[in-house]
Chain A
Amino acid sequence: MKKTKMYWLFLLPSLLGVLLFYAIPFLFSLYYALVDNMGAQEFVGLQNFIDTLTNSLFQSAVLNTTIFIGLSVPLSMALSLFLSLCLQGMKKGRVPATMLMLLPLVVPSGTIVYFWKVLFDANGLVQKCLLQMGFQHEVVAQNGWAMGVLVAVFLWKNVSYNIVLFWSGLNWIPKTYYEQMALEGAGKWKQFTNVTWIYLSPTTFVVLLMSIVNSFKVFKEVYMLYGAYPSPDIYMLQHYMNNQFLSLNMQKLSSAAYILFLVIGVVLLVVFYAQKRVTDAYQ
């Protein structure tokens, strides 16, 4: 009996912290989302949610964030799967190579922002090369490229994270499976589809989950490169939220947070569920 109390005592600091700084105020913010303003605090039902969902800035922020995730997550997954297979094909030098590829993970976003500018800015190296190759200035200087820049910057920082995940997944697959396939006369591609792809699928879901989670961190780079007020093409949900913080609008802030929470929660649950289905089917 006494022992159990002791364990609760160990848990207490952490649990109180999580409840006080995350869970309770988040539940409380639902109240803010349902009242009209911080003064009268009159109950207005779902009005704040409707306002947020019909807000054109919010809509374009959702659209841009979705485009960004839709581009960067599949690209980073494909690239990291490819590179982790390459890593497996290497005979020596794996550890130093992995370490070099992991370096971007600890590099603060701000310290290399100038590098990205030199590369991608209006007077940057990429535009210079394109111009010198004979492309028209109007094509080269389009705003639409900004999203591509963000995807490139995201890939640079986050692909190595996924490589490590895939790599540890690959190491779980017993070598004998491949040997058996080779004995049966299966080629490399067949081995990949029949062994690697199938036994890697639980890992793939983990990578998908972590990629979605990590894709929200790109705000650091966006903010560093384009400041608090970027062009409309890359106006992200994070910008929308930040502007509500600065204008201290608790109603819009809370309702937007709840909408995002629900959407992300559903997406994560679907991924979880799919992972469980696939894992159960093969094991």
Chain B
Amino acid sequence: MKTRHIPSMICIMVSAAVAVFPIVFIFVNSFMSGSEIVSRYSAEILPTNADDFTSHGIHFVRFGLLPREFTLNQYKQLLLQSPGYLRMFWNSVLLVVPVLIGQCVIAPLAAYAFENIKWKYKEAIFFMYIIVMLMPTQILLVPNFIVAGWLNIRESYLAIILPALFHPLGVFLIRQQLKNFPKECLEAAALDGAGPWRTYWYIVRPNLKSVVAALVVLLFADNWNIVDQAVVFIKNTFDNPLSVYLGNVVTGDPGMFFAVSVFYLIPALLVFLLGQDYLTEGIALSSVKS
């Protein structure tokens, strides 16, 4: 084992650095002035970047991690003069929060029910959940789109929120966790005369905290990064969540990109920091082992 220690360490450190580097890059670049960002990364040859490497009439990027002059102007502009960005950030919040709350209420109850119902075809129902869970978003968007047409909510956020509320991932994760739950506890509760609801509320629910936390981290990561659904359902540019609009910022307003990105990244990083212990657990549970 001793000989493997150092090379392993190096490989892991390199890949951790690769993982973190892009995040560091956008963070330090967010303190550059807008004009510096444009002169560094634009493909056009400008008076300010003519000294850099050019070829075939193209200016090549001047990769940099240290701003020539440190400034908070971008952040100031973002927070004080950019209602558009703030509104789209708020749109993202509006799309994510109901999904998180709804899943945390609906999924544990359903998972608990799946473990206790004794109907012989219940596994067939659960199999349907697994199939839905494994299908790519583009396939699931077809039924979502049809229902949104029936309910006449194609123009509304509900077209995105409602299907996400019922996405089977939550039920699946929590049921995986419940399978390890000591049956004796439940039997003891039943002997004491506790009904299904009391057993759930006082015995099962308090023990689900860590798996629900894992679910919240995974769902947040997924829904804060929503793109596909928004592209299909949202017509009006300013109704988009910021996750989609960031693509337009690159070409439309490059000077602001890094500050807006950091701003959008912070909630994701906060959720990650709060839930990091649960994230690995959630991933391990999400693997379909049966």
Contacts and interface: CB of A to CB of B under 8 A. Distances in A.
B16 A15 contact: no
B106 to A, nearest CB: 5
Given A87-B8, A227-B247, A137 B125 contact: no
Interface residues on A, range: 35 or more
B4 interface: yes
B141 interface: yes
B134 A123 contact: no
A260 B143 CA distance: 14
A108 B247 contact: no
Contacts of B236: none
A206 B283 CA distance: 11
Given A4-B117, A106-B220, A109-B243, A26 B143 contact: yes
Contact of B276 (A102, A161, A264): A102
Contact of B43 (A17, A83, A116, A123): A123
A87 B16 CA distance: 11
Contact of B264 (A13, A23, A111, A209): A111
A123 B246 contact: no
B195 interface: yes
A132 B8 contact: no
B231 interface: yes
B247 A223 contact: yes
A183 to B, nearest CB: 15
Contacts of A93: 9, 12
Contact of B134 (A100, A106, A213): A213
B125 A115 contact: no
Interface stretch (A44-52, A193-201, A236-244): A236-244
B20 A100 contact: yes
B26 to A, nearest CB: 6
Given A25-B143, A86-B8, A206-B287, A102 B224 contact: no
Interface of A: 3-4, 6-8, 10-11, 13-15, 17-18, 20-26, 28-29, 32, 82-83, 85-91, 93, 97-118, 121-125, 127-128, 131-132, 137, 156, 159-161, 164-165, 168, 188, 202-203, 206-207, 209-210, 213, 216-217, 219-220, 223-225, 227-228, 237-238, 241-242, 245-246, 250, 253-254, 257, 260-261, 264-265, 268
